Amino acid sequence: MAKVSIAGATGYTGIELLRLLVKHPEVEIVTLTAESHAGKNIAEVAPSLKGWLDQTLVKLSPEVAQGCDVLFLALPHTISMQHVPELLQSGRKIIDLSADYRLHDAQVYGDWYKTPHLNPELLSKAVYGLPELHRKKIKQAQLVANPGCYPTGAILALAPLIQQHWVDGQSIIIDSKSGVSGAGRKLSQTTQFCEANESVAAYGLGEHRHTPEIEQELSGLAGQGITVSFSPHLMPMTRGLLTTAYVPLKKSMDRQALHDHFAKFYKNERFVRVLEAGRYANTAHVAGSNFCDIGVQVDTRNNRAILTSAIDNLMKGASSQAIQNMNLMLGIDETTGLDAPPLFP
Amino acid sequence: MAKVSIAGATGYTGIELLRLLVKHPEVEIVTLTAESHAGKNIAEVAPSLKGWLDQTLVKLSPEVAQGCDVLFLALPHTISMQHVPELLQSGRKIIDLSADYRLHDAQVYGDWYKTPHLNPELLSKAVYGLPELHRKKIKQAQLVANPGCYPTGAILALAPLIQQHWVDGQSIIIDSKSGVSGAGRKLSQTTQFCEANESVAAYGLGEHRHTPEIEQELSGLAGQGITVSFSPHLMPMTRGLLTTAYVPLKKSMDRQALHDHFAKFYKNERFVRVLEAGRYANTAHVAGSNFCDIGVQVDTRNNRAILTSAIDNLMKGASSQAIQNMNLMLGIDETTGLDAPPLFP
Amino acid sequence: MAKVSIAGATGYTGIELLRLLVKHPEVEIVTLTAESHAGKNIAEVAPSLKGWLDQTLVKLSPEVAQGCDVLFLALPHTISMQHVPELLQSGRKIIDLSADYRLHDAQVYGDWYKTPHLNPELLSKAVYGLPELHRKKIKQAQLVANPGCYPTGAILALAPLIQQHWVDGQSIIIDSKSGVSGAGRKLSQTTQFCEANESVAAYGLGEHRHTPEIEQELSGLAGQGITVSFSPHLMPMTRGLLTTAYVPLKKSMDRQALHDHFAKFYKNERFVRVLEAGRYANTAHVAGSNFCDIGVQVDTRNNRAILTSAIDNLMKGASSQAIQNMNLMLGIDETTGLDAPPLFP
Amino acid sequence: MAKVSIAGATGYTGIELLRLLVKHPEVEIVTLTAESHAGKNIAEVAPSLKGWLDQTLVKLSPEVAQGCDVLFLALPHTISMQHVPELLQSGRKIIDLSADYRLHDAQVYGDWYKTPHLNPELLSKAVYGLPELHRKKIKQAQLVANPGCYPTGAILALAPLIQQHWVDGQSIIIDSKSGVSGAGRKLSQTTQFCEANESVAAYGLGEHRHTPEIEQELSGLAGQGITVSFSPHLMPMTRGLLTTAYVPLKKSMDRQALHDHFAKFYKNERFVRVLEAGRYANTAHVAGSNFCDIGVQVDTRNNRAILTSAIDNLMKGASSQAIQNMNLMLGIDETTGLDAPPLFP
């Protein structure tokens, strides 16, 4: 039994980690931290977990890492990198759900996050935790940077085409639609019920911080620079992230051929489900699960592939993917504690 | 491994049964029936289950019972009783999620369901499947009538008071608020998105068919006749059922004393969580789980207990309770396949 | 043209006042105040009003009252009473949407609001602004205390019975279901989208501050003390307030007789619609309007009237009722600027 | 006072027409038709209109046109064209909200709607009812084809760029997000609450019937053929339609220059609001109104304009635009009965 602890246990990704970890057969939950709620019982702040956990929340300190085998950091970006160097000295495995170690280039981090990276030397040490692309490296890593929700959905939808060089790498458009939980549990005007309900709007067009993460991974796959227009939108729902990607095809293909390529590409991936040609991914069909559903379509009039991918942003977009990474790092079956059907309706 | 089949597998309770049964360690899923979708693959009608099940849907026939050990009937009321007598002849165990065998008195059934019962002689054979009240009988039963969602929430909230005779049995008011999935998957104007969204309304006040079921069980507990005013309301959400019950107290009690009585009453029940005095049950804290949360409060100005209970109507209100019954009938641990935390948010 | 100003213009009730007032043929909007947003343009904080208003927001001061004929106070309770005495000296008419002047008895205010009233001598000067009950007094008032949303729905549902003394005044139960906008625009955990969505829960059972307001008005109508159990619930929707009231009848009546009594009681009230016997009020059918729909039903098994009323909490529960009061105070037709159908769906 | 009648009065666009027409100062509502509800009172089928209308619904016949000055057809496509030739013989003005007369080319209609047009000779007689583009022709028309909701949002977002030939006309991508009411009031599985709630999905990618309508109008503006990839998505909300359009710019422009061009283009249009550079259109800010909000942004890394437009699909996307057309056809002020702020929240 591996001992696991969570820093930032009372946010949505923290609570989701806990929901999964209490049922995980190979781990024992040790310490839970929360800065503002320190001193309270976890079930008081997360009533859904009443009867499952009884820890008193503490503040994050180096001892938290020392007391466990795997430490999840469910902290805001820029906060993670304040703690990681010291935590790494414990020798324990760390899975960081923030954005702080996802980018390989400190300059790019500084440009998009508007603050210098505090420990750029660690960026080359961190592995980007998308198992479908980096499984081997993840198994060896001490520090895994868990992908953002938008990049997870976008990269999985695009990887099979990018890898084949069938697309024009400067004309990709990614239009994403996220549930409100993607914004986290902290208070904000935008995420108040009456502002988000019955509201659909874009935000951060062409400026969102997940853009360089998507470009880094797609460029790596392509072996050449890829740029994308990435447009996030906020949807009036709690969970779910749909990505619609528009890709000009270099060669003419029908949707069945495209489907077959995707099906082959992902045939050994338990958590990617390629839908039959002509069906569209739907966030309602992956809720509460680690699955990414992908639908393929071709706009034959314009010879453009239109891909849709659906994930649960708190699961494959955050917490269950983090546990998938943990399983790999611990050398146990990758699907342990994760292989369950979505909740529908 | 017990062989289980489901009649009516493509409705919401059928899909929820499947979600749970594919992960249940002691069963094997055999046959799935659906009248209008017969011939299709289950994953086509329930895309959330893609990759989990591959059965072709068939129509219900006596052979379906013969081919399994336990048969779940997720059929509409009045349809179940057309099939049950023949299906019982197979000797197999049957768990009926419809209302057809919940009432002991055929006359009461006829009065509320506006149609005569087709096989009243079977009513005494059926056991009302609320494990917290009838665990022993359920273990011996061949036919279990799975409770309605409203009765489950109402009876669990009221049982600790009713059993003590601390209440006036003619003045109980039950005001219930249900998510739309309680109405099932069949098309109707009322459950169209644009009619149900941003809408809160009562229906069937004083006339709802779950009323006699609540009264039967409470009267049984009290050892005397109990009548209630039961008022269902439709809420703009998918899952969840909150019950607010108003009970005049015969003796003066504060909320801590009431809480302690409830906590003691349910102390051996894994799936009932009595909240601390002064906290209120919330449907969001039980979603996707088999839990029933109960909050106790006393309106001291009027010496009236106000109880709130929250369940997931598709789970403890239907499918997971049905599996709890199955576990009992099979003689295995009652919590098998069910003991998981709710999904929040 | 009367000059009107609003203190607290950027909250939900403030924005709703503005939506109505810009189309009101007899008024001109002068000054808008907002403490934290002072200096911004109103359309920046309320983008729905772009193209309609161009005021720069200012802080509240005595001059605001002096510059107008009618001043709406859309401020939090306890804040209003800090300003009202000074504002009244301007001689201008004031409509206070907070709770500060609704209760006649300063002791009751102190008990429920947990703070002493700052100017109890003004309580007798203020008129409770429910036009259906106090139309004459409102016309003469300088200070109108606009009713709370819950009391509006509850009092209108109960008044026809209370006035006739057909009910037992100690056994009334009021179970209310409110949209999230009733909590206002300020940030709070409870009203974050992911906490309120797919969530139904009670709060403040037996302790909510609207209780004494309901009792004061019903007691006044009855000519004797009435106590109620009042239970508010939060619903996953933006607008709408449904009240379900349970009333033991002293004499036996069927629902048609009850309906006819209600229809007669309200026959001259433009904004109360008594539904046909057996129909239920639905928040979706009054959204965006000043209407209160009332449904009457009798639980004949228990000789209990069950009344449902639906209002839009931001309209008849707040802002449009405030304008109805303004019309009365200005001596113009009561329906001016308000007589429009609800928005459905 | 013009006499107006509505064929198909009980669907969502019919009810919305009625909500607006009862308050329109220049019209009188005469006859309301509904095939399946004929014989019922309109307020029974549309309870929000109780107290406003008292018509008994009748079936559509030629006499309906003869009895009025303007007839709105809120009928499904392919049904409208069965009636229009006969109805036109009355000499009355007709505003058809279906798709049947929007396309100029009968062949294109046949290709996309999979059925031959029944009266292609009328296509040249019909005027496409987007006032911002065809105001003059609408004033003269006897038959106006009211635009689809998706085309309205897309064309208004793109027109200022298309007209200037600043864009590559073969690379436009339109990603649209619609509320469920766009699918109408008829029953369907997709629009059931539990299927649409917490669900975001694409449908009809590259195949949706609104595509040729968008291309026809943009090509007309450009004076050359434009093709688009148009992707509709269904959102878990009742009203609202957000369009995100991606347009490669032929020349380099910053967002302020783009904004200024849009502001100038629409400076005389009451119902188009161009937002400040860098703000995004939001469906919540136009609900219940005839406004179209447009936000402009430039992805400078890719020299691509990203435009967002928000409309209420039942209003500017259907019924209020139909009344805008009626006003033009009647020679009265175009804004009559329409100029009111959106409902927020």
Residue C8 gets the label, from left (phi > 0), alpha (psi -120 to 50) or beta, of left
Mean pLDDT value across residues B145-165? 97
C259 touches chain B (CB under 8 A): no
Nearest CB among C192, C195, C238 relative to A198 is that of C238
Report d(CA A52, CA B341) in Å as an integer: 7
Inter-chain CB proximity B273 and A19 less than 8 Å: no
> Which one of B194, B198, B238 has the shortest CB-CB distance to D194?
B238
Whole-Å CA distances, D282 to A234, B198, D185: 10, 19, 24
Per residue in A96-154, pLDDT (tens digit) is: 999 999 999 999 999 999 999 999 999 999 999 999 999 999 999 999 999 999 999 99
CB A117 within 8 A of CB A109: yes
The nearest CA of chain D is from the CA of C253 a distance in Å of 25
User: What is residue C169's predicted lDDT score, i.e. its pLDDT?
Assistant: 86
Edge-to-edge order in the sheet of strand A143-145: A27-33, A2-7, A70-73, A93-96, A143-145, A127-128
Two structure tokens written together for A111: 């440009």
A222: enclosing H helix or E strand: helix A211-222
The residue count of chain A comes to: 345
Beta strands A70-73 and B172-178, pairing class: unpaired
> For tokens 């506006």, what's the residue?
B114
Nearest to A200 among D173, D237, D301 (CB): D237
Domain B2-146+318-330 of CATH type 3.40.50.300: no
User: Under DSSP, is residue B143 helix (H, G, I), strand (E, B) or coil?
Assistant: strand
Q: Do C12 and A194 make contact, defined as CB atoms within 8 angstroms?
A: yes
Sign of the four-CA dihedral D132, D134, D136, D140: negative
Tell me if residue C154 falls in helix, strand or coil: helix
Cis peptide before C341 (omega within 30 of 0): no
Crossing angle of helices A131-140 and A149-162, rounded to 10°: 110
Interface residue A345 vs chain C (CB under 8 A): no
Q: Which of A13, A193, A197 to mutate to test the interface with C (most CBs of C within 10 A)?
A: A193
pLDDT for residue B214 = 98
- Tokens representing A256 are 């069945």
- Beta carbons of A94 and A65 less than 8 angstroms apart: yes
Task: Give me the pLDDT at residue B210, please.
Answer: 97
Cβ distance of D239 and C345 shorter than 8 Å? yes
Residue C168 confidence (pLDDT):
87
**pLDDT score of A165:** 87
Structure tokens at D211: 């595509």
Domain with CATH 3.30.360.10 in chain B: 150-311
Helix, strand and coil percent figures for chain D, each rounded to 5 = 30, 20, 45
Neighbouring C-alpha atoms within 13 Å toward the C-beta of B168: 15
- Give me A109's structure tokens: 């981090």
What residues contact D37, with CB distance under 8 A and at least 6 apart? D10, D45, D57
- The angle formed by the CA atoms of residues D141, D146 and D149, to the nearest 5 degrees, is 160
Residue B230 has φ and ψ, to the nearest 5°, of -115, 125
Identify whether the C-beta of residue B3 lies closer than 8 Å to the C-beta of residue B23: no
Tokens 């929000």 locate to: D48
Give per-residue burial for C78-89: e unless 16+ CB within 10 Å, then b. ebbbebbeebbe
**Distant-in-sequence, close-in-space partners of C328: CB < 8 Å, separation ≥ 6:** C131, C135, C138, C139, C334
Which tokens belong to A154? 């976008």
Contact B194 D236 (CB under 8 A): no
CA A21 from chain center: how many Å? 17
Q: Give strand pairing partners of B94.
A: B71, B143
SS3 (DSSP) at A19:
helix
- The per-residue pLDDT string of chain C (345 residues; one tens digit each, 9 = 90 and over) reads 999 999 999 999 999 999 999 999 999 999 999 999 999 999 999 999 999 999 999 999 999 999 999 999 999 999 999 999 999 999 999 999 999 999 999 999 999 999 999 999 999 999 999 999 999 999 999 999 999 999 999 999 999 999 998 998 889 999 999 999 999 999 999 999 999 999 999 999 989 999 999 999 999 999 999 999 999 999 999 999 999 999 999 989 999 999 999 999 999 999 999 999 989 999 999 999 999 999 999 999 999 999 999 999 999 999 999 999 999 999 999 999 999 999 999
Residues 6+ apart with CB under 8 A from C268: none
- Residue D344 to chain C, least CA–CA distance (Å): 7
Tell me the CA end-to-end span of chain B in Å, nearest whole number.
Answer: 34
Q: C261 with C160: CB under 8 angstroms?
A: yes
Burial D21-52, CB ≥16 within 10 A → b, else e: bbebeebebbbbbbeebeeebbbebbbbbbbb
Asked if the Cβ–Cβ distance from C285 to D341 is below 8 Å, we say no
Angstrom distance (rounded) from CA D154 to CA D242: 9
Q: Give the whole-angstrom CA distance, residue C42 versus residue C31.
A: 11
Q: Are B228 and B174 in contact (CB under 8 A)?
A: yes
* D28-32 contacts, C-beta under 8 A, 24 or more apart: D28/D1, D28/D2, D28/D3, D28/D4, D29/D4, D29/D5, D29/D53, D29/D55, D30/D3, D30/D4, D30/D5, D30/D67, D30/D68, D31/D5, D31/D6, D31/D55, D31/D58, D31/D64, D31/D67, D31/D68, D32/D5, D32/D6, D32/D57, D32/D58
**What is the structure's pLDDT at D74?**
98
Report how far residue A223's alpha carbon sits from residue A217's, in angstroms, rounded to the nearest whole number: 10
Average pLDDT over residues A77-101: 98
Judged against a pLDDT cut of 90, whether residue A172 lies above it is answered with yes
- Whether residue D244 contacts residue D172, with contact meaning beta carbons closer than 8 Å, is answered with no
DSSP B144-206: EEPPPHHHHHHHHHHHHHHTTT-B-TT-EEEEEEE-GGGG-SS--STTBHHHHTT--EE-STT
What is the structure's pLDDT at B278?
A: 87
Whether B25 has its CB under 8 Å from any CB of chain A: the answer is no
| 8 Å CB contact of C284 and B227 | no
CA distance B200 to chain D (A): 14
Q: Which of B278, B174, B188 is nearest to B218 (CA)?
A: B174
pLDDT beyond 90 at A168: no
Closest listed residue to residue A345, CA positions, set C115, D76, B176, B183: B183
33-92 in B: which are within 8 Å (CB) of A? 46-52
| In chain C, residues 193-252 whose CB comes closer than 8 Å to chain A | 193-198, 236-238
* Sheet strands (E) in chain C: 2-7, 27-33, 70-73, 93-96, 127-128, 143-145, 172-178, 201-202, 228-234, 241-248, 272-274, 292-299, 304-311
DSSP B276: P
- CATH number of the domain located at residue range(s) D150-311 in this protein: 3.30.360.10
What is the distance, to the nearest Å, from the Cα of residue D315 to the centroid of all Cα atoms in its chain?
Answer: 8
Cβ-proximal residues to B153 (8 Å cutoff; 6+ apart), any chain:
B176, B241, B242, B243, B292, B309, B310, B311, B317
Q: Supply angle C-alpha A125, A130, A133, rounded to 5.
A: 95
Supply the pLDDT for residue B169.
87
Tally A–B CB contacts below 8 A: 83
| Range(s) within chain B of domains with CATH label 3.40.50.720 | 2-146+318-330
Mean pLDDT by 10 residues, chain D (345 residues): 98 98 98 97 98 98 97 97 98 98 98 97 98 98 98 98 91 97 97 98 95 98 96 98 97 95 98 96 98 97 96 98 98 98 98
pLDDT at B37 over 90: yes
Q: In whole angstroms, what is the distance from residue A272 CA to residue A307 CA?
A: 14
Most C CBs within 10 Å, among B195, B198, B306, to test the C interface: B198
